[in-house]
C-alpha cells in the first residue's frame, strides 16, 4: 500500500488554516473547543464558545460506534442520537450558525463512506464547514478522501498519534490540511489528572517536520494543562471538559469554561 496518499503540500491555504496561521503568527495560542452536535443546546454552546475566544469550533456528528470518544462524549452522542440527531440534521443546524470563526466537523469514516466521499464533502461545504476530522481513517488509506475533500474545498485534518513512525510523520503532516491534530495519548478522549508525557513528545515531533499549525488534543483536562501543552504545540483542542459542562450546566457555562482556557493561554 502506498505511503503517499495525497499531494504533500497545498497550493494555497484554506479558510481554517489561513485563520489559524494568522492567529498563531500574531502570537496567540490556539484554542478549539469540541461540541457534540445534536445534543440539546449545542448551537448555543458553539456560539458561547466562539464569543468566549475560541479560534475555531469542532462540531461532532454523533455516531453509534465511536472509536476515540471517551465516556463523556459517548454519553452526549447517545443522548443526541436518542433525540433524533442525524448527520443531515446536525449539518442543517450547523448551517444556521454565524460565529465568526471557522468550523470543523468530527465524525467517523462509516458516515463518509456511506454517503460517498464527494457527497459528504459537498454536504460539509453546504453547511459552512471548513474542515473535517475522521479519526478512524488511517493516513495510508485516506488518499481518495483527501482528494475528494481537496476538490470540494474541505480541509481534511489528519491525526498524528504517539505511535506514528518517523518515516511517515512528515508525509502525514504535509498531507493534512487546516492543522495537524497531535493526539496526546494512546486512549480515548477524556480529562486526566495530569498531562501525558506523550502529548509533549508528539507535538514536538510534528513541529519539527511542518510549519502547519499543530494542535494537541485528547487528555487535556484543565487550563493549566492546556498551558503546559502549548509550551510545545501551537494550541489545544478541548473536548470532554466542554461536553461535560454542556451536559451538567448548560450552554452558557460552556462560554465561561472556554473563557477560562482563553485567559490561561493568553497569560501563558
Q: Over 80: is that where the pLDDT of 171 sits?
A: yes
Cα(165)–Cα(169) distance, integer angstroms: 6
Cα(80)–Cα(37) distance, integer angstroms: 7
Instruction: Report the CATH number that the domain containing residue 149 is assigned in CATH.
Output: 3.20.20.70
Q: Is residue 189 part of a domain?
A: yes
Q: Over 60: is that where the pLDDT of 4 sits?
A: no
Backbone dihedral region for residue 116 (phi beyond 0: left; psi -120 to 50: alpha; all else: beta): left
pLDDT digits (tens, 9 = 90+) for 158-168: 999 999 999 99
Q: Over 90: is that where the pLDDT of 65 sits?
A: no
Q: Over 70: is that where the pLDDT of 8 sits?
A: no
Domain count, the chain: 1
pLDDT at residue 1, as a whole number: 36
Q: Is residue 207 part of a domain?
A: yes
pLDDT at residue 9, as a whole number: 46
3-class DSSP state of 264: helix
Cα(122)–Cα(162) distance, integer angstroms: 32
Query: Is 231 part of the annotated catalytic residue set?
Result: no
Q: Is residue 13 part of a domain?
A: no
pLDDT at residue 190, as a whole number: 46
pLDDT at residue 70, as a whole number: 73
Domain extent, residue 128, equals: 31-267
| 93-97, 128-132, 193-197, 239-243: range with lowest mean pLDDT | 193-197
Query: Is 69 part of the annotated catalytic residue set?
Result: yes
pTM equals 0.93
Average pLDDT, the chain: 92
Q: Is residue 242 part of a domain?
A: yes
Split at pLDDT 50, 70, 90, the class of 102 is very high
Q: Is residue 100 part of a domain?
A: yes
pLDDT at residue 219, as a whole number: 81
Q: Is residue 238 part of a domain?
A: yes
pLDDT digits (tens, 9 = 90+) for 200-239: 999 999 999 999 999 999 888 899 999 999 999 999 999 9
pLDDT at residue 196, as a whole number: 74
Q: Over 90: is that where the pLDDT of 67 sits?
A: no
Query: Which residue in 17, 47, 55, 58 is the catalytic one?
Result: 58
Query: Which residue in 17, 47, 55, 69 is the catalytic one?
Result: 69
- Strand positions, DSSP E, the chain: 30-36, 57-60, 103-106, 131-133, 155-160, 180-183, 214-217, 235-238
pLDDT at residue 197, as a whole number: 86
pLDDT at residue 11, as a whole number: 45
Mean pLDDT of 163-175: 95
pLDDT at residue 71, as a whole number: 86
Q: Is residue 76 part of a domain?
A: yes
Q: Is residue 26 part of a domain?
A: no
3-class DSSP state of 173: helix
Amino acid at each position: 500500500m502506498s505511503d503517499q496518499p495525497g499531494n504533500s503540500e497545498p497550493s494555497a491555504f484554506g479558510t481554517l488554516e489561513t485563520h489559524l496561521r494568522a492567529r498563531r503568527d500574531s502570537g496567540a495560542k490556539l484554542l478549539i473547543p469540541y461540541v457534540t452536535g445534536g445534543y440539546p443546546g449545542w448551537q448555543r454552546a458553539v456560539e458561547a464558545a466562539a464569543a468566549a475566544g475560541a479560534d475555531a469550533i469542532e462540531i461532532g456528528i454523533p455516531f453509534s460506534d465511536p472509536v476515540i470518544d471517551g465516556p463523556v462524549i459517548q454519553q452526549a452522542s447517545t443522548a443526541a442520537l436518542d433525540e433524533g440527531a442525524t448527520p443531515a440534521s446536525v449539518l442543517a443546524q450547523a448551517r444556521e450558525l454565524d460565529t465568526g470563526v471557522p468550523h470543523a466537523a468530527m465524525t467517523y469514516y462509516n458516515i463518509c463512506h456511506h454517503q460517498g466521499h464527494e457527497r459528504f464533502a459537498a454536504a460539509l461545504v453546504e453547511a459552512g464547514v471548513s474542515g473535517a476530522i475522521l479519526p478512524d481513517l488511517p493516513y495510508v488509506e485516506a488518499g481518495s478522501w483527501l482528494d475528494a475533500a481537496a476538490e470540494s474545498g474541505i480541509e481534511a485534518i489528519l491525526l498524528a498519534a504517539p505511535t506514528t513512525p518517523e518515516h511517515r510523520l512528515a508525509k502525514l503532516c504535509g498531507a493534512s490540511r487546516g492543522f495537524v491534530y497531535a493526539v496526546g495519548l494512546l486512549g480515548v478522549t477524556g480529562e486526566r489528572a495530569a498531562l501525558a508525557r506523550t502529548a509533549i513528545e508528539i507535538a514536538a515531533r510534528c513541529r519539527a517536520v511542518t510549519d502547519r499549525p499543530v494542535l494537541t488534543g485528547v487528555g487535556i483536562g484543565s487550563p493549566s494543562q492546556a498551558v503546559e501543552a502549548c509550551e510545545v504545540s501551537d494550541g489545544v483542542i478541548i473536548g470532554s471538559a466542554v461536553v461535560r459542562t454542556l451536559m451538567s450546566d448548560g450552554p452558557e457555562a460552556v462560554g465561561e469554561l472556554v473563557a477560562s482556557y482563553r485567559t490561561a493561554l493568553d497569560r501563558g
